[in-house]
Structure formats: structure tokens, C-alpha cells
């Protein structure tokens, strides 16, 4: 791999990408989130131990007569103090599991994912629920908002949440279905891409986009963004190959037309610059 990209995409990043793909394939939410973060071996072990400890505490409360919802609220929201970050909502740390545990705050999808991980560690049936515009959790038959500290949500509450992002949007009860891990991972990465874009943090934007391109191979806009960032950082030969792939894969799409033009322009340039 050529100079500037080698600095942006290290062997550790390549390992994390492999772990991410494997985790998505095996429905391993914790490993997928830690791969996105690029957590070290020590950090991964610490998170695993903490999730296990919290799960044990939930089991203790369940044995004492608490409901699953009460136990998770007590352990995650009250004792551990994890809820939503309303002050710096788009901070990249809010999309990183280990940092959410350290700071006690995060985006709705990360706080809800923590509930999922702790609940499942305790043997409970807990799933993420991807409402349009907001991410919540299902604990058994109950829907709760971990971002708000575990507030219970009726279906009417969920309808109001959805319509707060689009007043005319018709309600679809299927939005309350459990969200597959692949969808969770893609949504987390899109949040990170947005966060780094807002901060104009180009190196971290490149890494997040490259990971997103792995899990969203059928999205031409993501693939084009990766190619454009690769070109921006001066890896012209690699960018040309990416453009060529986009042009061939998404023929007829606007992104394919843009990519075809850039591929031609970079093909000759790369022979002299790389």
C-alpha cells in the first residue's frame, strides 16, 4: 500500500476490519463495536469483563424479584450512570463502546447496544430497535429508551418519536422489530462518518469510510466517497482502481458516471505519480 494511505490505514486497522467482518458474519455485536473503535487487546478484555460484571449484577437483581426492565435500568442507567450525551451529541466518542463505558454517555444506538450486551450477558432477551431518527431497545415485550435512562415507551410514544423527525411519515409497526447486527454496525459507522465530517477530521473520516464501505458494498455513494478520499490523500493508483470498480459495478448510476470520468483522468496520472 502506498505512502499516505499506509499512514491512514495501518496493519492494526486491517486487523480491525477483519474482526469487524467476522463479527458481523457471526452476529457478535460486542466484537463488531470494538472493531469499529479499533480497541486494543487490553481495552477489549476490559470491556468484556465489565459487561460480564454488569450482567452478573442484573442476574442478582432478577433473583431478588426485579423485572428485566427494572434490573437493567438499575444497573446500567442508575448504578453505572450511562445515558445519552445531549451536550456534545455528535462527538465521535459517543459512537465508541469503550469510551461510552468510560464517560457514561453516548449516542442512542451505543447506549441501547450497551443495554443489549448487558441484558444478553444476564441471559435476557434484549434487542436494539432502529426507529427512524432514534434508536431504542426492546427488553422482552417492553420497549425502552436507554438514551433517556430507560424510560418505558408505548407504541404511541414511538409513533411520536418517529413523527418528530417527519410529521407526515406514516407509522410502520415493523419498525419495532429487532434490528439485525449488520444494520446496527452500518448505522454506527454512518454516525462516525458524519461526526468526523463535521469536525473536518479527514484521517479519521477516511478510516470510518473505509470500514463503512466494507459493510455497505452495495451503496454507490459510500464507495464513491471512499474513492474520493483515497484520491484526496494522494493514492492515485488505488483511487483509479476504486473508480474503475464503481463504474463497472454500478453502471447507469450517477456515481458510476462520476467514477468513470475520474478513472480515465487518474489512470495516466498514476503511471507517473505512483
The contacts of residue 115 (CB under 8 Å, 6+ apart) are 72, 76, 126, 137, 139, 144, 146, 150
Angle between the N-to-C axes of helices 11-25 and 202-215, in degrees from 0 to 180, rounded to the nearest 10: 30
* Residues 129, 264 within the same domain: no
- Note whether 61 and 123 are same-domain residues: yes
Q: Would you write out the chain's pLDDT as a tens digit for each of its 274 residues?
A: 445 677 789 999 999 999 999 999 999 999 999 999 999 999 999 999 999 999 999 999 999 999 999 999 999 999 999 999 999 999 999 999 999 999 999 999 999 999 999 999 999 999 999 999 999 999 999 999 999 999 999 999 999 999 999 888 899 999 999 999 999 999 999 999 999 999 999 999 999 999 999 999 999 999 999 999 999 999 998 999 999 999 999 999 999 999 999 999 987 765 555 4
In this predicted structure, what is the pLDDT of residue 178? 97
Residue 148 covered by a domain: yes
Rounded to whole angstroms, the Cα distance separating 228 from 255 reads: 11
How far apart CA 270 and CA 236 sit, in angstroms, is: 5
Cβ–Cβ under 8 Å, residues 37 and 88? no
Cell triple for 223: 464507495
Residue 9 lies in a domain: yes
Q: What is the pLDDT of residue 1?
A: 46
**Do 141 and 32 lie in a common domain?**
yes
Query: What range defines the domain where residue 171 resides?
Result: 3-181
Task: Mark whether 242 and 174 lie in a shared domain.
Answer: no
The pLDDT of residue 167:
86
CA 32 to the chain's CA centroid: 9
Closest by alpha carbon to 86, among 99, 72, 104, 74? 104
3-state secondary structure of 106: strand
Same domain, 175 and 224: no
Which pLDDT score, from 0 to 100, does residue 180 have?
Answer: 97
In the block, cell 477489549 appears at 44
25 plus 134 within the same structural domain: yes
Q: Give how many domains the chain has, as a whole number.
A: 2
- Residue with C-alpha cell 423527525? 165
Contact 115, 91 (CB under 8 A): no
Eight-state DSSP code of residue 172: -
128 and 236 share one domain? no
Beta bridge partners of 143: 138, 153
Could you say which of 181, 207, 240 is where a domain stops?
Answer: 181
18 and 113 together in one domain: yes
**DSSP-assigned letters across all residues of 193-221:** HHHHHHTT-HHHHHHHHHHHHHH-TT-HH
Half-sphere exposure of 70 (CA within 13 A, CB side): 8
For residue 76, tell me if it sits in a domain: yes
Residue with cell 406514516: 170
Write the CA distances from 273 to 83, 202, 232, 235, 270, integer angstroms: 50, 22, 14, 9, 5
Q: How many residues does the chain have?
A: 274
Question: Does 159 share its domain with 252?
Answer: no
Phi, psi for 201 (deg, rounded to 5): -95, 85
Q: Are 14 and 1 in contact (CB under 8 A)?
A: no
Cell of 97: 463502546
Q: Which of 10, 24, 25, 245 is nearest to 34 (CA)?
A: 24
Amino acid at each position: 500500500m502506498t505512502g499516505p494511505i499506509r499512514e491512514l490505514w495501518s496493519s492494526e486497522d486491517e486487523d480491525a476490519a477483519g474482526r469487524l467482518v467476522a463479527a458481523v458474519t457471526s452476529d457478535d455485536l460486542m466484537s463488531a463495536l470494538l472493531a469499529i473503535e479499533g480497541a486494543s487487546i487490553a481495552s477489549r478484555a476490559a470491556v468484556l469483563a465489565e459487561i460480564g460484571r454488569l450482567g452478573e449484577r442484573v442476574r442478582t437483581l432478577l433473583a431478588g424479584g426485579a423485572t428485566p426492565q427494572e434490573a437493567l435500568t438499575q444497573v446500567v442507567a442508575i448504578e453505572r450512570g450511562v445515558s445519552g450525551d445531549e451536550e456534545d451529541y455528535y462527538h465521535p466518542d459517543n459512537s465508541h463502546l469503550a469510551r461510552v463505558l468510560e464517560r457514561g454517555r453516548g449516542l442512542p444506538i451505543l447506549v441501547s447496544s450497551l443495554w443489549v450486551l448487558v441484558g444478553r450477558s444476564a441471559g435476557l432477551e434484549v434487542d436494539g430497535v432502529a426507529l427512524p431518527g432514534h434508536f431504542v431497545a426492546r427488553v422482552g415485550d417492553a420497549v425502552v429508551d436507554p438514551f433517556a435512562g430507560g424510560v418505558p415507551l408505548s407504541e404511541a410514544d414511538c409513533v411520536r418519536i418517529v413523527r418528530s423527525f417527519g410529521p407526515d411519515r406514516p407509522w410502520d409497526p415493523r419498525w419495532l422489530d429487532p434490528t439485525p447486527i449488520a444494520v446496527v454496525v452500518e448505522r454506527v459507522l454512518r454516525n462516525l462518518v458524519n461526526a468526523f465530517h463535521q469536525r473536518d477530521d479527514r484521517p479519521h473520516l477516511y478510516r470510518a469510510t473505509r470500514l463503512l464501505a466494507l459493510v455497505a458494498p452495495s451503496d454507490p455513494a459510500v464507495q464513491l466517497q471512499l474513492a474520493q478520499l483515497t484520491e484526496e490523500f494522494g493514492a492515485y493508483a488505488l483511487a483509479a482502481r476504486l473508480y474503475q470498480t464503481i463504474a463497472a459495478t454500478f453502471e447507469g448510476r450517477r456515481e458510476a458516471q462520476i467514477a468513470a470520468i475520474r478513472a480515465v483522468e487518474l489512470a495516466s496520472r498514476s503511471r507517473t505519480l505512483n
